[in-house]
Structure 1
């Protein structure tokens, strides 16, 4: 089972584990990139972080956190852009979905968005594919 039902995503977050979701392509033909969103439990809060990186991967190189930033001149975005903070796990997921287009029912455990990226590569890197 790749995707977490909502109760399992919330359970992972309340146990201190991040959840994430691959969102697809970003950028243009001259600077192709990919983006994914992560909900990270930190203390008593849940931070929503949007990541964008250059699309330099392949079927055999899918570790998104190893990809360089989409904009190499903006090092502040290298580790993601915090877009929201919530005090409840459910609210953090809802904020991530509302602000990034993430889809309920497509959350995965930390480190598993790379499998979604591999599927994206194998399908020919569609520019306007829906995550659902």
Structure 2
């Protein structure tokens, strides 16, 4: 958790793969993101993308606007703003409370593709995700 807090304090985003789901015969995957703004506020979002073979081609989860599960969401990227927090600690707590994120499993922005590849190698399980 100290690494996640350090990244946020330096103005860097963190992300976490939340897991796979199925809805109306379509498979999807969700991930959380905490993005600090220049004014110190941290934005907590959840993105849902369709889990298709196309994601594998792009090393996974790099182009959510192309694979948005809910294309009507803000910015058409499948992201939903969960809320804001005044501190990194409060943002992580918000993600835990609202998204069932785990404080131990945050990765730096740009590293989520590795988590997704692990998810694919483990057979794209449905439900909450736990990294190896």
TM-score normalised by the shorter chain: which range applies?
0.7 to 0.9
| CA distance 1:75–1:48, shift in 2 (3 Å) | closer
2:77 maps to 78
Matches within 5 A, 1:37-116: 37-43=32-38, 44-56=40-52, 57-58=55-56, 60-67=57-64, 68-72=67-71, 74-76=72-74, 77-116=76-115
Q: 5+ unaligned residues in a row in structure 1: which ranges? A: 1-5
Structure 1 residue 27 displacement after superposition: 2.9
Instruction: State the superposition RMSD in angstroms.
Output: 1.8
Distance 2:58 2:24 in 1: 20
Structure 1 residue 75 displacement after superposition: 4.5
Moved beyond 4 Å, runs of 4+: none
TM-score between both structures, scaled by the size of structure 2: 0.85
Between the two proteins, the alignment pairs up a number of residues equal to 125
Q: 5+ unaligned residues in a row in structure 2: which ranges? A: none
